[in-house]
Every structure is written in C-alpha cells, then in structure tokens.
Amino acid sequence: MGRLWAGREVLKGAVAYISSEGVAGLRRRFVAMRRHYGVEGRGIPFCFIPVMPDLGHASGDADVLIATITRWLAAIGNPPLRAVAIDTLARAMNGADENATKDMGVLVANGEKIAAALGCIVVLVHHAGRASEGRSRGSNALDGAADCMWSIEKGEGQSRITLSAMKDGEDGVEWAFRLRPFYFEENRCPKQSETSTCTVEILTNPAPAKQSETGRNRKPLAPGPKMLLSIAKAAADEAGETVRGFPNLPPNVKAVTRELLKRYARTKGYFEDGRSDDANRSLLSRDLKRLKVDGYLGLTEQHLWIIGE
C-alpha cells in the first residue's frame, strides 16, 4: 500500500504469501486487513498461494513458483515485487530434515534462487526450539544464511518483536503489537470462530532495546553463549587493545578482532571436533549476536569488546 508501517517508510509493491495450513483462517485475516485499511476492491497487489512448494529438495518447485508469480505479476501490470513470504519453513521442507545442515542448505539455496529471480526479499516463517534462547529451530545453517531475523515473543496483553540479527544494520531493536478482534458483521452466527478473526495493532515503534548500565536486566545465558563470553573476556584481558580509526568503536575500550576470538575459541574448546567449519562459523555468529542483543558484548564487522558488568 505504500503506507508508513510502525513509523517506518516502506517500498510500495506486490507481495506473494504462500501457506498450506490454516488456509480458511488466513483468508479471513486477509479480508479483515483489507477492510481495516479501507482498501477492499482497490486492487492491492497481494497474492495468496494456498499450495506449499517443496523447497527442501532439488525438486524443481522453486522454478515452478517463480514462473507462477511471474505470470501473476504480468497479469496485473508488472508492479515491482517486494516480498515472498513462506509460511511455514517446516512445511516447505516437505520431509527433509531441518536439523541436517545439508537439507537446510538446499532450502536456503532455493530461497536465494527465488529472491534473485524475482528481485525481492524472501521471508521464512519459522519456529523457535523449546530452549531456543533466541535462535531458530533446526540447523545453524539457517541462522548463518539469514540477512535479517525477527524474534516474536507472545505475551498476555501484548507481544514483542526483537530484531535479533541484522547483517547490514542495527540489531537489538524492539517494538510491541497486539492482535485486535475483528468481526464480520454481515455473517454473525453462533459459530463465533467463523465470523471473527483479528488485525494487528502496532503499540510501539521500533527502538533500540534499553540495557541497564549495571547489567541487571540481562537475560541468563545458555551454555554456548556463556562459554563464548568467558572466552571473549579472556581474549580481551590478555590481548585486547585500544583501537583507533574506527568510528563505531567506543573510545578507551580493550577490543579484539573477530579473527583473534576465533583462535581463542578454537584453543579453548568452543569449536567441537567433528563439526564442519561452516557449522562452527554459524554457531559462533549466532552466539555473538545473542551476546550483543543481550548487552554483554559490543560488536562490529571487525571487532568486539566487553560491555561493563
């Protein structure tokens, strides 16, 4: 629609949303959204595809999806395509093992193929594990390949979104929303579930998460990030230096390079024997992001430093 969203400017254009579960409920939500924004009947370029392609194997379904969306765009005048949403990643795996680096790598490659062919962002809706500590379920290959990750935490009165990882921008940004009931007045009947749905109300605009100077508001760390933090502290104590010429580094802190941290991690047992180099790099990247989001580390593309307790 080209409207501001959560106080931010957007790129106006078409969106394709793909899901094969809860289709009836999704259709109600889409109708409710059009009515909520007052755009019903105005030809908003939104396409819902209720059939999930197999993206967990080299099945050719990615090419079929690209062709399907390309035909749809041509039929509506070829507006710029901005996003393809796939809900959920697990359904798109189609029996492939999301815990296997190889299988997840196939899905990532298919996602990148779709993004490159259509010139848009591909959004994968995924679930966190039971003891996730802010990471997605399954292979670390997904976290390592993502350009941006949102973590959504459901609450009683409102829910929170955290930009948990961002390759080319600020992460740790948070905002809040809630789901507001929406009723289809013309179809009210005893079956309330068939006559109601919800719309999204943004409660706060995205803003950097506030960290306590004393660290009292920090989250407890999982074993992996906790071990990496102790290694980073040892590296900073033993080899940290005040670095000049980098504007994103605060003055008078003992920083170490990422390469130095990797060497410490290797000698201190953080990297597991038998795990591939790609898997170790993905694990390190994930845990560094977790430590940054929770306020334990400062982090740039080249350096890291310990934030005071």
Residue at which a domain ends, from 158, 184, 208: 208
User: pLDDT band for position 214 (50/70/90)?
Assistant: very low
Residue 171 lies inside a defined structural domain of this protein: yes
Tell me which residue of 62, 112, 55 sits closest to 89, measured CA to CA: 55
Query: How far is it, in rounded angstroms, from Cα 35 to Cα 243?
Result: 55
Q: Are residues 119 and 67 in the same domain?
A: yes
Domain of residue 285 covers 223-306
Q: Are residues 180 and 204 in the same domain?
A: yes
Residue at which a domain ends, from 147, 178, 208: 208
Query: How far is it, in rounded angstroms, from Cα 16 to Cα 65?
Result: 10
By the 10 Å C-beta count (0-12 exposed, 13-18 middle, 19+ buried), 150 is classed as middle
Q: CA angle, 264 as apex, 261 and 267 as ends, to 5°?
A: 150
Q: Are residues 249 and 158 in the same domain?
A: no
Q: Are residues 72 and 96 in the same domain?
A: yes
Residue 77 lies inside a defined structural domain of this protein: yes
Residue 72 lies inside a defined structural domain of this protein: yes
Q: Are residues 238 and 91 in the same domain?
A: no
Mean pLDDT across 142-146: 84
Q: Are residues 190 and 295 in the same domain?
A: no
In the prediction, which pLDDT does 212 show?
44
Q: Which long-range CB contacts under 8 A does 210-213 form with residues at least 24 apart?
A: 211/295, 211/307, 212/295, 213/308
DSSP 3-state assignment of 158?
coil
Residue at which a domain ends, from 208, 242, 263: 208
Q: What is the CATH number of the domain that holds 69?
A: 3.40.50.300
Q: Are residues 103 and 25 in the same domain?
A: yes
Q: Are residues 148 and 240 in the same domain?
A: no
Q: Are residues 37 and 113 in the same domain?
A: yes
Domain count for the chain, please give it.
2
In the prediction, which pLDDT does 290 show?
85
Residue 217 lies inside a defined structural domain of this protein: no
In the prediction, which pLDDT does 299 show?
86
Q: Are residues 187 and 233 in the same domain?
A: no
Q: What is the dihedral of CA 256, 258, 264, 269, to 10 degrees?
A: 140
User: pLDDT band for position 298 (50/70/90)?
Assistant: confident
Query: How far is it, in rounded angstroms, from Cα 146 to Cα 108?
Result: 9
Check whether 144 has a pLDDT greater than 70. Answer: yes
Check whether 191 has a pLDDT greater than 80. Answer: no
Residue 257 lies inside a defined structural domain of this protein: yes
DSSP lists the bridge partners of residue 49 as 18
Q: Are residues 69 and 135 in the same domain?
A: yes
Q: Are residues 198 and 229 in the same domain?
A: no
Q: CA angle, 282 as apex, 89 and 211 as ends, to 5°?
A: 90
Query: How far is it, in rounded angstroms, from Cα 154 to Cα 200?
Result: 13
Residues 57-114 have pLDDT tens digits of: 999 999 999 999 999 999 999 999 999 999 999 999 999 999 898 999 999 999 999 9
